[in-house]
């Protein structure tokens, strides 16, 4: 074959590849729209024989499910934003993120027990706002310091070696999980919400726990602070510049090492705040570290690694799927709910292989 | 055939013969609880090595295929039991069915993940494994939380010795097959994709398809290993898919050296031996390392390896072999992977010199 013919063949192959990719996009987008429309129709009208029932006949149940999804998404966002922040700037996949979540939860529980003065049967009435907030701060601060030490000792000198860093943090997570099992035992522990936030409000005939709304409020506050920090301060500007082109930032004479350390610290603080909230929301036990690593991974795979916007989108989508799929599947099939997490992942990856707001590295 | 390849083959042959004769000299416990487990975990870990070494994809999802094969075999072969479908099929038909389901699942999951490369793949495959855990834990028609029990192997291999030889045979086939695959055009294209997917795509290679097929093959082999596991174990439960076992399999590959096929079985041996014999080491309990803290020890070992030499035990052995006189039997014919991020272009034609080094720094966003 002559060189020209070969080049022609290559061009037509490439054109075919682009057509295939476009087709896949089209299928993905339309698939997503059709699936969403069908799901909405199902939830609104047809969902008889499901735990909640059609939204038109039970708007309260629908609203409760919606709020469950949004409030859970808030917690997801707090945890996953820390994970994605660290990855975005340093390309470090912190597989110990879930361990830091669990450690902060355990520490916060211990501190709260100390402040209330007993180790069991702590009622919300016994807990003042202070004896909830102080444990959260202590837990987050401790894991943030541990995370920072981990970064300085194990991760700083091998920057850019993604797999090596991921494996180092996996090793640390294995060690931490084992040591936490030794120190805190295998039983589930819970932190208690302050009495001031444990009431019920009635929406469309459905009672809803204000503690979950409080959790959403904290998440919104965290999100707002993150937004201000990243978009309105000098350090946030440096971080965003570093996400785009770290070497250029370095070349401009900016102390990148300091910015990296602060970012890692903040990322771990977010894991810690999430851990303490998660402990108040559903309790924690051995294995919660893995669950929350998984939750963070799902959120950032959907939303795109390194993007805060993506963390918001990913948390909302994943939170909705986890709330709606068990509520609106026919009762005898409710155990298939987990499939929908996979369907969500598959749909998103078909359209955007690096997540909704992600970019190929 | 180059001298190095000949040496590798001779070494592999000697090791195989020794392993085949070993049951004549050692106790049944050792064969059953150490060697068979080592071979079967090594076989599963070898699929991680295959994906990492040739495809640049580090998978935490292999445990899922390991487990799916077990669950499917158990569901198909049992005639009556508390849980599962109890299809009551012939064991060999059940085994084929299990492998077919495993391979099809691997193809589907591989297709979903095939366009996401690098570190994304690691995270995605971990998510696969955990979704598998929830699936089997929640879907009571197939398994439910306590799993499927009283599963028997096919009559032909129902003794522990025969099971050992089955595991050995499959391991040898996988070792030889995976290495040979690296020299086929499929293996070459895969290695090209590992090094530069964009360039391969512009050469007209269907990158996603090659990745998906490699993942499918790895899933099939992991399924074989999962069959041996369920024959050996007699039961399978959802806990064998969760995050812990997923990490264990990767840890085995990492301890041995994630770019070396022999490392998979070496890592498995270290893992199984530590699991079995840690308690009988003198003095370890004095420093707080009882068998309850086995995971701490394994974590420290992995941490140490990743900090000092990401190439694992095989990599360390090769480096030692390169500097001590007479150390060539350690396989020191190959330069250890440079740590400064430079990659020596492969000048040899047998493909096995095209190797991963874990420490590429020049391009952000690429792993391996």
**B132 min Cα distance to partner chain A (Å):** 9
Please give the residue that has the higher pLDDT: either B83 or A361.
Answer: B83
Cβ of B123 within 8 Å of Cβ of A301? The answer is yes
Residues 65-104 of A with CB under 8 A from B: 91, 93
Higher local confidence (pLDDT), B272 or A46: B272
CA count, 13 A, side-chain hemisphere, A129? 4
Mean pLDDT, chain B, whole residue set: 82
Q: Please determine, for residue B353, whether its predicted confidence score (pLDDT) is greater than 80.
A: no
When CB atoms are compared, the residue of B119, B127, B135 closest to A294 is B127
pTM equals 0.86
Would you kindly state where each structural domain of chain A is located, as residue ranges?
A: 66-302
Contacts of B202 in chain A (CB under 8 A): 10, 14
Distance CA A3, CA A5 (A): 5
Torsion angle (degrees, nearest 10) of CA B99, B100, B103, B108: -150
pLDDT at B286: 62
pLDDT tens, residue by residue, B117-146: 778 899 899 999 988 998 898 888 888 788
- Mean pLDDT of the region B97-118: 91
CB pair distance less than 8 Å for B358 and A161: yes
Q: What pLDDT shows up at residue B116? A: 79
pLDDT value at A221 more than 90 = yes
Nearest CA in chain A to B123: A297
B360–A294 CB contact, under 8 Å: no
- How far is the C-alpha of A87 from the C-alpha of A271, rounded, in Å? 14
pLDDT top residue among B335 and B296: B296
Contact B296 A174 (CB under 8 A): yes
Beta-carbon contacts of residue B318 (< 8 Å; ≥ 6 apart): B311, B330, B331, B332, B334, B336
Nearest by CB: B127 against A170, A178, A298: A298
Looking at chain B, which residue has its C-alpha nearest residue A294?
B127
Q: Is A185 on the interface with B (CB under 8 A)?
A: no
The one-character DSSP state at B367 is -
The per-residue pLDDT for B282 is: 65
Angle at B9 between CA B6 and CA B14, to 5 degrees: 125
Separation of alpha carbons A241 and A245, rounded Å:
6
Which of A11, A13, A87, A167 should one mutate to test binding to chain B, selecting the residue with the greatest count of B CBs within 10 A?
Answer: A167
Of A161, A172, A360, the CB nearest to B303: A172
The domain limits of chain B are 28-330
Q: Please tell me the predicted confidence (pLDDT) of residue A34.
A: 86
Contact B295 A154 (CB under 8 A): no
> Is the ipTM, as predicted for this complex, more than 0.90?
no
Whether A351 contacts chain B with CB within 8 A: no
Q: Where are the alpha helices (H) located in chain B, listed in sequence order?
A: 3-21, 28-29, 36-55, 62-77, 91-113, 119-138, 160-181, 185-195, 197-202, 207-233, 243-256, 261-277, 294-308, 312-323
Helices (H) then strands (E): counts for chain A: 12, 2
Give the C-alpha separation, B124 to A355, whole Å: 11
With CB atoms and an 8 Å threshold, state whether A338 touches B120.
no
DSSP per residue over B204-233, as a string?
T--HHHHHHHHHHHHHHHHHHHHHHHHHHH
Reported confidence tier of residue A360, pLDDT bands at 50, 70, 90: low
Which residue in chain B has the smallest CA separation from A174?
B299
**What are the angstrom distances between the C-alpha of A31 and each of A18, A44, A140?**
19, 20, 41
Q: B238, B306, B311, B359: best mutation site toward chain A, by most A Cβ within 10 Å?
A: B306
Comparing A315 with A54, the larger pLDDT belongs to A315
Render pLDDT for B259-275 as a digit per residue (tens, 0 to 9). Answer: 899 999 999 999 998 88
Please state, as a whole number, how many other Cβ atoms lie within 10 Å of the Cβ of residue B193. Answer: 25
- Write down the pLDDT at residue B326: 60
* A147 vs B351: which has the higher pLDDT: A147
The reply to whether residue B307 touches residue A246, judged by beta carbons under 8 angstroms, is no
Pick from A262, A340, A303, A321: nearest CA to A90: A262
Instruction: Decide if A338 and B292 are in contact by the 8 Å CB cutoff.
Output: no
DSSP string, A152-174: IIIISTTTT-HHHHHHHHHHHHH
pLDDT of residue A331: 75
pLDDT tens column, B223-245: 999 999 999 998 899 988 888 89
- Comparing A204 with B200, the larger pLDDT belongs to B200
Quick one: how far is CA B361 from the chain centroid?
A: 26
Average pLDDT over residues B96-100: 95
Are A67 and A215 contacting, i.e. CB atoms less than 8 angstroms apart?
no
């Amino acid at each position: 074959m002559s060189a020209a013919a070969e080049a022609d063949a290559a061009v037509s192959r490439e054109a075919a590849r682009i057509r295939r990719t476009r087709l896949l996009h089209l299928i993905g987008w339309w698939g997503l729209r059709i699936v969403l429309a069908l799901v909405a129709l199902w939830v609104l009208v047809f969902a008889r024989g499901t735990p909640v029932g059609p939204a038109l006949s039970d708007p309260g149940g629908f609203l409760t499910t919606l709020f469950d999804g949004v409030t859970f998404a808030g917690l997801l966002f707090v945890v996953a934003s820390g994970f994605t922040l660290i990855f975005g700037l340093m390309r470090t996949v912190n597989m110990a993120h879930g361990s830091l979540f669990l450690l902060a939860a355990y520490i916060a529980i211990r501190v709260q027990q100390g402040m209330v003065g007993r180790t069991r049967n702590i009622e919300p009435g016994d807990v003042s706002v202070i004896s909830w907030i102080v444990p959260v701060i202590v837990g987050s601060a401790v894991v943030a310091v541990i995370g920072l030490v981990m970064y300085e000792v194990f991760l700083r000198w091998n920057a850019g070696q993604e797999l090596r860093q991921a494996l180092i943090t996996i090793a640390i997570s294995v060690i931490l999980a084992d040591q936490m099992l030794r120190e805190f035992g295998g039983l589930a522990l819970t932190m208690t919400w302050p009495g001031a936030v444990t009431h019920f409000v009635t929406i469309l005939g459905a009672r809803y726990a204000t503690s979950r709304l409080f959790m959403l409020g904290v998440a919104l506050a965290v999100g707002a602070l993150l937004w201000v920090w990243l978009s309105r301060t000098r350090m946030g500007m440096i971080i965003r510049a570093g996400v785009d082109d770290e070497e250029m930032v370095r070349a401009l004479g900016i102390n990148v090492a300091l910015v990296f350390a602060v970012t890692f610290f903040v990322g771990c603080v977010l894991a810690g705040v999430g851990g303490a909230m998660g402990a108040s929301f559903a309790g924690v036990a051995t294995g919660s570290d893995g669950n929350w690593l998984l939750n963070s991974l799902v959120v950032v795979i959907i939303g795109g690694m390194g993007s805060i916007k993506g963390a918001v989108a990913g948390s909302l989508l994943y939170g909705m799927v986890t709330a709606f799929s068990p509520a609106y599947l026919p009762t005898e099939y409710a155990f298939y709910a987990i499939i929908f997490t996979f369907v969500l992942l598959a749909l998103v990856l078909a359209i955007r292989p690096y997540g909704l707001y992600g970019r190929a590295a | 055939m180059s001298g190095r390849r000949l040496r590798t083959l001779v070494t592999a042959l000697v090791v195989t013969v020794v392993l085949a004769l070993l049951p004549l000299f050692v106790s049944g416990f050792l064969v059953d609880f150490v060697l068979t487990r080592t071979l079967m975990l090594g076989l599963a870990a070898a699929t991680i090595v295959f994906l990492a070494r040739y495809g640049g994809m580090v998978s935490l999802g292999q445990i899922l295929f390991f487990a799916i094969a077990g669950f499917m075999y158990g569901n198909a072969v049992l005639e009556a039991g508390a849980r599962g479908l109890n299809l009551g099929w012939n064991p060999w038909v059940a085994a084929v069915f299990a492998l077919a389901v495993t391979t099809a699942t691997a193809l589907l999951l591989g297709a979903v993940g095939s366009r996401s490369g690098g570190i994304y793949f690691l995270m995605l495959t971990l998510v696969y494994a955990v979704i598998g855990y929830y699936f089997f834990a929640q879907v009571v028609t197939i398994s439910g939380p306590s799993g499927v029990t009283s599963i028997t192997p096919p009559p032909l291999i129902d003794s522990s010795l025969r099971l050992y030889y089955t595991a050995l045979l499959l391991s040898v086939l996988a070792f030889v097959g995976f290495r040979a695959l690296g020299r086929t055009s499929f293996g070459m294209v895969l290695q090209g994709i590992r090094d530069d997917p964009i360039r391969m795509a512009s050469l007209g290679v269907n990158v996603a398809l090659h990745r998906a097929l490699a993942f499918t093959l790895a899933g099939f082999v992991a399924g074989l290993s999962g069959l041996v596991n369920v024959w050996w174990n007699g039961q399978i439960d959802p806990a064998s898919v969760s995050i812990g076992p997923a990490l264990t399999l990767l840890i085995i590959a990492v301890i041995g050296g994630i770019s070396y096929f022999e490392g998979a079985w070496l890592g498995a041996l270290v893992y199984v031996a530590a699991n079995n014999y840690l308690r009988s080491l003198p003095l370890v309990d004095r420093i707080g390392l009882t068998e309850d803290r086995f995971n701490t020890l394994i974590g420290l070992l992995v941490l140490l390896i990743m900090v000092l030499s990401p190439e694992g035990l095989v990599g360390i052995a090769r480096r030692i072999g390169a500097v001590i006189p007479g150390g060539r039997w350690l396989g020191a014919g190959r330069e250890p992977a440079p740590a400064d991020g430079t990659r020596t272009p492969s000048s040899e034609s047998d493909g096995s010199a095209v190797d991963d080094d874990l420490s590429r720094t020049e391009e952000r966003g690429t792993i391996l």
